[in-house]
Amino acid sequence: MKSKVASFSVDHTTLDSGFYLRSQYTALGFYPIKSYDMRFKAPRAKEYLSPEAIHTIEHLMAHYLRERLGDKVVSFAPMGCKTGFYVVVKGWTPQRRVMEEVLRVCREQSDLKTQEDVPGLTVVQCGNPELYNIEESNAALKEYGALLEKLLSETK
Protein backbone atom coordinates (compact mmCIF):
# COMPACT_ATOMS: atom_id res chain seq x y z
CA MET A 1 0.00 0.00 0.00
CA LYS A 2 1.30 3.47 -0.88
CA SER A 3 1.83 5.75 2.07
CA LYS A 4 3.08 9.24 2.79
CA VAL A 5 5.05 8.02 5.80
CA ALA A 6 8.73 8.68 4.94
CA SER A 7 10.06 5.57 6.70
CA PHE A 8 7.64 3.32 4.79
CA SER A 9 9.55 4.10 1.59
CA VAL A 10 12.83 2.83 3.09
CA ASP A 11 13.76 -0.75 2.17
CA HIS A 12 14.16 -2.28 5.63
CA THR A 13 15.55 -5.54 4.20
CA THR A 14 18.83 -3.77 3.35
CA LEU A 15 18.84 -1.15 6.11
CA ASP A 16 21.89 -1.26 8.38
CA SER A 17 22.14 -0.02 11.92
CA GLY A 18 23.24 3.62 11.87
CA PHE A 19 22.09 7.21 12.16
CA TYR A 20 19.99 8.58 9.30
CA LEU A 21 18.13 11.74 8.43
CA ARG A 22 14.69 10.29 7.80
CA SER A 23 12.52 13.28 7.08
CA GLN A 24 12.76 17.03 7.02
CA TYR A 25 9.99 19.56 7.51
CA THR A 26 9.92 23.31 7.32
CA ALA A 27 7.88 25.35 9.76
CA LEU A 28 6.70 28.85 8.81
CA GLY A 29 8.37 28.43 5.42
CA PHE A 30 11.96 28.54 6.69
CA TYR A 31 12.46 26.90 10.08
CA PRO A 32 13.89 23.36 9.74
CA ILE A 33 12.61 20.40 11.74
CA LYS A 34 14.48 17.15 11.18
CA SER A 35 13.60 13.61 12.16
CA TYR A 36 16.57 11.26 12.60
CA ASP A 37 16.43 7.48 12.56
CA MET A 38 18.65 6.15 15.33
CA ARG A 39 18.77 2.56 14.14
CA PHE A 40 20.30 0.37 16.83
CA LYS A 41 19.57 -2.93 15.08
CA ALA A 42 19.54 -3.87 11.41
CA PRO A 43 15.99 -5.17 10.87
CA ARG A 44 17.19 -8.18 8.84
CA ALA A 45 19.28 -9.38 11.80
CA LYS A 46 16.02 -10.05 13.65
CA GLU A 47 17.63 -9.15 16.96
CA TYR A 48 15.46 -6.67 18.76
CA LEU A 49 15.83 -4.45 21.77
CA SER A 50 13.76 -5.65 24.70
CA PRO A 51 10.88 -3.42 25.89
CA GLU A 52 12.82 -2.99 29.15
CA ALA A 53 15.98 -1.80 27.37
CA ILE A 54 13.99 0.48 25.06
CA HIS A 55 12.21 2.12 27.96
CA THR A 56 15.47 2.65 29.88
CA ILE A 57 17.20 4.18 26.84
CA GLU A 58 14.15 6.33 26.12
CA HIS A 59 14.40 7.88 29.59
CA LEU A 60 18.17 8.37 29.37
CA MET A 61 18.18 9.94 25.91
CA ALA A 62 15.08 12.07 26.52
CA HIS A 63 16.73 13.52 29.62
CA TYR A 64 20.38 13.84 28.65
CA LEU A 65 19.93 14.93 25.03
CA ARG A 66 17.85 17.85 26.32
CA GLU A 67 20.66 18.69 28.74
CA ARG A 68 23.01 18.79 25.75
CA LEU A 69 20.86 20.27 23.00
CA GLY A 70 18.25 22.09 25.09
CA ASP A 71 14.90 22.86 23.51
CA LYS A 72 16.31 21.94 20.07
CA VAL A 73 15.08 18.44 20.91
CA VAL A 74 11.40 18.32 19.99
CA SER A 75 10.92 14.66 20.86
CA PHE A 76 12.66 11.37 21.44
CA ALA A 77 10.63 8.24 20.86
CA PRO A 78 11.12 4.49 20.44
CA MET A 79 10.21 2.71 17.23
CA GLY A 80 7.40 0.24 17.75
CA CYS A 81 9.39 -2.37 15.82
CA LYS A 82 12.03 -2.29 18.61
CA THR A 83 15.01 -1.72 16.29
CA GLY A 84 15.70 1.88 17.27
CA PHE A 85 14.46 5.37 18.07
CA TYR A 86 13.50 8.64 16.46
CA VAL A 87 14.92 11.93 17.59
CA VAL A 88 13.31 15.07 16.22
CA VAL A 89 15.47 18.20 16.28
CA LYS A 90 14.43 21.74 15.34
CA GLY A 91 16.64 24.55 14.10
CA TRP A 92 19.99 24.53 12.33
CA THR A 93 21.93 22.09 14.51
CA PRO A 94 24.13 20.07 12.12
CA GLN A 95 23.57 16.29 11.98
CA ARG A 96 27.15 15.72 13.11
CA ARG A 97 26.55 17.68 16.32
CA VAL A 98 23.42 15.64 17.07
CA MET A 99 25.40 12.44 16.50
CA GLU A 100 28.21 13.65 18.77
CA GLU A 101 25.75 14.42 21.58
CA VAL A 102 24.06 11.03 21.20
CA LEU A 103 27.51 9.44 21.35
CA ARG A 104 28.29 11.38 24.52
CA VAL A 105 25.12 10.06 26.18
CA CYS A 106 26.01 6.53 25.04
CA ARG A 107 29.46 6.86 26.63
CA GLU A 108 28.36 8.52 29.87
CA GLN A 109 25.23 6.44 30.54
CA SER A 110 26.40 2.91 29.72
CA ASP A 111 27.86 1.96 33.09
CA LEU A 112 24.76 2.47 35.21
CA LYS A 113 24.13 0.37 38.30
CA THR A 114 20.59 0.86 39.55
CA GLN A 115 17.13 2.21 38.71
CA GLU A 116 18.00 5.43 40.58
CA ASP A 117 20.59 6.18 37.87
CA VAL A 118 17.78 6.54 35.30
CA PRO A 119 16.01 9.94 35.32
CA GLY A 120 12.24 9.91 35.65
CA LEU A 121 11.69 6.26 36.57
CA THR A 122 9.18 6.98 39.32
CA VAL A 123 5.43 6.38 39.62
CA VAL A 124 4.85 10.12 39.43
CA GLN A 125 7.02 10.73 36.35
CA CYS A 126 6.44 7.58 34.28
CA GLY A 127 3.60 5.28 33.24
CA ASN A 128 5.52 2.06 33.96
CA PRO A 129 8.62 2.62 36.12
CA GLU A 130 9.08 -1.13 36.75
CA LEU A 131 9.84 -1.63 33.05
CA TYR A 132 13.59 -1.22 32.83
CA ASN A 133 16.77 -3.24 32.39
CA ILE A 134 20.06 -1.60 33.30
CA GLU A 135 22.36 -4.35 31.96
CA GLU A 136 20.67 -4.47 28.56
CA SER A 137 20.56 -0.69 28.32
CA ASN A 138 24.28 -0.49 29.17
CA ALA A 139 25.11 -3.09 26.52
CA ALA A 140 22.92 -1.51 23.81
CA LEU A 141 24.35 1.96 24.46
CA LYS A 142 27.92 0.63 24.34
CA GLU A 143 27.22 -1.12 21.04
CA TYR A 144 25.50 1.89 19.49
CA GLY A 145 28.20 4.24 20.82
CA ALA A 146 30.89 2.15 19.10
CA LEU A 147 28.93 2.33 15.85
CA LEU A 148 28.55 6.12 16.11
CA GLU A 149 32.25 6.48 16.82
CA LYS A 150 33.02 4.55 13.67
CA LEU A 151 30.54 6.56 11.58
CA LEU A 152 31.88 9.87 12.89
CA SER A 153 35.51 8.88 12.24
CA GLU A 154 34.66 7.90 8.66
CA THR A 155 33.08 11.26 7.85
CA LYS A 156 35.49 13.79 9.41
Q: Which residues bind Zn ion (CB under 5 A)?
A: 126
Residue closer to Zn ion, measured from CB, 33 or 126: 126
Question: From the CB of residue 29, how many other CB atoms can be counted at a distance below 10 Å?
Answer: 5
Between 126 and 151, name the residue whose CB sits nearer to Zn ion.
Answer: 126
- Smallest gap from Cβ 51 to Zn ion, in A, equals 11
Three-state SS at 113: coil
Contact 91, 27 (CB under 8 A): no
Residue 61's nearest CA partner among 32, 19, 23 is 19
Least distance to Zn ion, CB of residue 23, Å: 25
Kind and range of the H or E run holding 143: helix 134-154
Distance in Å, CB of 80 to Zn ion, minimum? 15
User: Minimum Å distance from CB 120 to Zn ion?
Assistant: 6
Nearer to Zn ion, 56 or 110 (CB): 56
What does R_g of the chain's alpha carbons equal in angstroms?
Answer: 16
